[in-house]
Structure 1
Amino acid sequence: MIGQEKRDKWKKILPELLAVILCLVLMGAGVSRKEGYHMDELLSFELANARYNPWIVPTQPEGRLAKFVNEEIEGDSAGETLENLKNTVTDVLRNRGNSKLLSYKADVYEEPVWITNRQFQDYVTVGQKDAFDYLSVYFNVKDDNHPPVHFMLLHAMSSVFRGTLSPWLGCSINLVCLGITLWLLLRLGRQLADVFSLEGKGRQLGILAVLLYGMSTGALATVL
């Protein structure tokens, strides 16, 4: 009896599941054919993965905070690094604006310097040294007009696939969000059926909504 109930339940949800899978496969095919990056996409990788250095420019390739972390925080051992971090926090609490951290200056050159391909690759990707450094992500986006959650998710993906720059890193997050959206559309179909007294039509309405949106150019543009 229980086995029959499970089979009946799967028969009911199978069309919904297939509709969602179809849309996700179609969007995934679009991601696989994506070429190049919009400037804002590169900026997302920069803010997510550049270690305490959100903006790289030819006259200042290393930011003020990045320079401070490299020269004043990082030590030869974990213990030395923690000691330097403790001293920095103590200095900031005591001296505020006059602390070494807040008065630290970046190297700014009068003439632009050449930024190599390797430097820029390191700038938009994650290496062994800066994986899962969410404090860096926070400092990079604290003055940006976007909240940090997406950048932290992108940094997490980049930390798993270190040294990689790929559309899949960002688009995989979008595919997950699309899957949640499609699930909500299925739920919405059932609620609309109740509102308009369309008994037994809720699943069909949800599937229709999923296919109309999930296979649209609007969904594809959102994912890409």
Structure 2
Amino acid sequence: MKRIYTKDRVLYWMTLSLSLIICLYFANQKVGYHIDELYSYGLANSYSHPFPNAINQWLSGSYYHDYLSADWAHRFNYLAVYQNQVQDVHPPLYYFLLHTISSCVPGIFSKWLGLGLNLVSHLLSLTMIILIGRKMSTQSYIPYALALLWGLSVGGLNTFLFIRMYSLLTCMGLILLYQIICLLDQGHYHLRSWIGLSLTVMLGSLTHYYFIIYAGLLFIFWLVIQLRRSQWKFLIKVGSAGLIGLGLAYLFFPAMISHLTQSNRGSETLTNLRQVGLGQNLLTYLRFINWELLGKMPWGLFLAIFIISVIVYYQKRPYLKHTRSNLTQKLLIIGPALAFFALVQVISHYLTPRYIYLIYPQLILYFAYYPLAAWSSFKDWRKYLTGAVFALMLIFNLYQPTLTYTYPQQYQLNQTINSRSPVNAIVLTDQKWKLIRLTTYLQDYQHVYPWSAKEWSIDSFPQLADHQQSLDIYILDQAFPLSQIKGTLKQVYPDFQSKITYQDQTLTLIHLE
């Protein structure tokens, strides 16, 4: 027994260490941000202005720096975070945690603050996958193989690299799944389990509203299983734990009701539920799974491997056909996940894989378990066959040259801006909400003029505060014709030489000196 425990401990730390190294490697490659990642920092740390939408006036670069980082005067100001989230469309738990980390290093904005929080969630998720895998299999190495197949997959790494609440959401979903499976095995009520279940539902609901959907589906599947056993008291107690957890989340954050029913996100969700067909976005979301979990493996090949593995698995272990616990565990893993997938691909307002990151581990737990377990049943060739299957699955998992959230395309822009130190900047945009995209750059200027005008006019062009200083002009999404801008610059700043130093489909950067 001691030898088994030692072996498991070694495998556990090897799994976490390998995942940690890979995560840190790709985290170091991250050189840019999605607009929502910048909102994560801003909503967690800004005071009195949850959105950096000030326009048509000269601002200090510190306006943007204070938006992204926690300043000394407002460290650990959770009331400000709470109020920001009331005005946003998400619950506050993730932002509380990010603000706590930022408050420990006031005045500093860094990708490592958000990635550090995600890394803890990622490692906890790996731990939960291992614990669930131990419930599924008696083979000591299968739980760790399952954990690595998710943790090192494109989907798992994207979940970690995206500085939003989805890594924490995935962790909360796995904790709840593990608790429900444990309750299934126990078959009776413990006060400690009841309290833990309530806390998980409360914290998950305060992380992202999609957790409520997953938790509801998980409870429904569990309750249906319990109805067959006629354990009414047990059923009522566990059901009440979930409802109390949801009620506590509402009491802490009543704005969740208006978010779900009256906000733009809530309205879009309800509209999609009424108008979008069940299969309208299905192929798109299946493509996400294929890219991020299967390495673009042909679906025919995947289904063939899975079906053959299931047949081999049950032929080698015929007694499992009659093991109710084994089958119900797998039903609790895959049933709610597939139901969640079917629902989310209908109601989601954007077609993006982030909304199904929550169920990526469950898909790995179910669909990767059978190939690993089936081929490990051949005693003479167990190690070789299982190792070959694991290696093949891992290779397909990692077969993608670039992860979504590292943004290598922003490296050139970073180098262009960092190669000099201009004092002033003017930003031309047709919509003020787009300014968030440039906050990481604007924070380094002394003066910034975010300008939004419906019509191009030389009379309204902001005059440079100090004509002796260099100037950068950012043009977002070709807000104004570039030829007109160049002509105006020659008239307004005749002593300056202008040069386009960076240009892509969404941004043009002109430098004057």
Normalised to the residue count of structure 2, the TM-score between the two structures is 0.30
* Aligned 1:123-202 pairs, distance under 5 A: 123-193=67-137, 199=138, 201=139
Corresponding residue for residue 5 of structure 2: 9
Instruction: Count matched residues.
Output: 161
Corresponding residue for residue 155 of structure 2: 218
Distance, in Å, in 2 between the alignment partners of 1:12 and 1:124 is 42
| Distance change >3 Å, CA 213–CA 114, structure 1 → 2 | same
Corresponding residue for residue 17 of structure 2: 21
By how many angstroms is 1:117 displaced?
A: 1.6
Distance, in Å, in 2 between the alignment partners of 1:134 and 1:221 is 28
Are the counterparts in 2 of residues 50 and 125 from structure 1 also a CA contact under 8 Å?
Answer: yes
Equivalent position to 2:145, from 208, 213, 216: 208
Corresponding residue for residue 44 of structure 2: 48
Distance, in Å, in 2 between the alignment partners of 1:215 and 1:19 is 10
1:118 and 2:118 correspond: no
Distance, in Å, in 1 between the alignment partners of 2:131 and 2:12 is 11
Distance, in Å, in 1 between the alignment partners of 2:72 and 2:54 is 25
Q: Specify the code of the residue in structure 2 equivalent to 1:219.
A: G
Q: Specify the code of the residue in structure 1 equivalent to 2:20.
A: L
* Aligned 1:44-123 pairs, distance under 5 A: 44-59=40-55, 112-123=56-67
By how many angstroms is 1:183 displaced?
A: 0.7
Corresponding residue for residue 36 of structure 1: 32
Distance, in Å, in 2 between the alignment partners of 1:180 and 1:147 is 21
By relative contact order (CA 8 Å, sep 6+), the higher-ranking structure is 1
Q: Specify the code of the residue in structure 2 equivalent to 1:217.
A: V
By how many angstroms is 1:169 displaced?
A: 0.7
Output one character per residue of 1:44-97: Cα deviation in whole Å (capped at 9) or x when no partner: 1111111121022234xxxxxxxxxxxxxxxxxxxxxxxxxxxxxxxxxxxxxx
By how many angstroms is 1:8 displaced?
A: 5.8
Are the counterparts in 2 of residues 52 and 137 from structure 1 also a CA contact under 8 Å?
Answer: no
Are the counterparts in 2 of residues 48 and 151 from structure 1 also a CA contact under 8 Å?
Answer: yes
Q: Specify the code of the residue in structure 1 equivalent to 2:11.
A: P
By how many angstroms is 1:39 displaced?
A: 0.6
Distance, in Å, in 1 between the alignment partners of 2:64 and 2:86 is 22
Larger Rg: 2
Distance, in Å, in 1 between the alignment partners of 2:83 and 2:8 is 48
Distance, in Å, in 2 between the alignment partners of 1:128 and 1:19 is 39
By how many angstroms is 1:174 displaced?
A: 0.9
By how many angstroms is 1:115 displaced?
A: 2.5
Output one character per residue of 1:137-184: Cα deviation in whole Å (capped at 9) or x when no partner: 001111322110001111111101111111111111111111111111
Pairwise CA RMSD of aligned residues?
A: 1.7
Normalised to the residue count of structure 1, the TM-score between the two structures is 0.68
Q: Specify the code of the residue in structure 1 equivalent to 2:108.
A: T
